[in-house]
Amino acid sequence: MSHYKPGAIGEFTGKTGQLVTCRWKRKKIGRDAPAKTRNEASIALKNQRAKIGLISKCLHQFHSAIKVGYPDKSGDKSAMNRAVKYNLQHAVTGTFPDLVIDYTKIQLSSGWLDQIYRPTISVVPRGIIQVNWLNSVNIKAGSEENDNVFLTLCNEQINDEGSRTTYVVVFPTAGTRSAGTVQLKIGLKTKGTFHAWIFLTSVDGKRASNSRYLGSFTFSQAV
């Protein structure tokens, strides 16, 4: 892979002969086109490709949370690249072709900001959820009482034909660390099982905590 500077004809992207050019972040990238092969991929390769495709498709639905949850911009990898790398190793189970996502192991954020402790989630009347947590008496340096609480919910529906529809809703400023509790109305016209994650971000958005899986809850009627 190499970088290039646009010449007299300006910037171009796509394939020219055996050269493929594209833009990645603010860089112009040029690389050789992949060689064609007639050899059938091994089971191990099929498994890896399927895992990458599955976790990439899954995490794309959480792109707004991941963009905030992986704020470190010091390296060349994007927030989504870092999220895929972690979750590929931890949140995909099974063997090709029977691969599944383990929602309990999905990590939507990564960072050294102090976490909250013993978070719980429950359903209260009128389609409202309540999240409670504890705060450490002595939080880590760099963590503040007014750090933002970021909550993410995911609901997956499967119709009679087996097709899946996923609804994701985020609350980027659900509350503050010091509050210890928050009540939120989901506002989705759907029902069934929801999965929930929570993490914290600094007010300036430059730091985040590791996300915590809160568990799942069920609405028997659309909310």
- Going by pLDDT thresholds of 50, 70 and 90, the confidence category of residue 5 is low
**Domains of the chain in sequence order:** 2-32 (no CATH), 43-103 (no CATH), 110-219 (2.60.40.10)
Long-range CB contact pairs, 42-51, < 8 A, 24+: 43/96, 46/96, 47/95, 47/96, 47/99, 50/96, 50/97, 50/99, 51/88, 51/92, 51/96, 51/99
Higher pLDDT, 6 or 147: 147
- Output 163-172 pairs: Cβ under 8 A, ≥24 positions apart: 166/61, 168/61, 168/62, 168/65, 170/64, 170/65, 172/64, 172/68, 172/148
Decide if 62 contacts 70 (C-beta within 8 A): no
Measured on CA atoms in the order 27, 31, 33, 35, is the torsion positive or negative?
negative
In the predicted model, what is the mean pLDDT of residues 95-101? 87
In 64-178, at which residue ranges do the beta strands (DSSP E only) sit? 92-95, 98-101, 117-124, 128-134, 148-158, 164-176
pTM, 2 dp: 0.78
* Mean pLDDT across 149-178: 85
CA 215, CA 9: separation in Å to the nearest integer? 55
18-22, 39-43, 100-104, 215-219: which is most confident: 100-104
pLDDT bucket at 43, cuts 50 / 70 / 90: confident
The 10s digit of each residue's pLDDT in 30-40 is 666 665 656 66
**Which region among 17-21, 51-55, 186-190 has the lowest average model confidence (pLDDT)?**
17-21
DSSP 8-class letter at 112: B
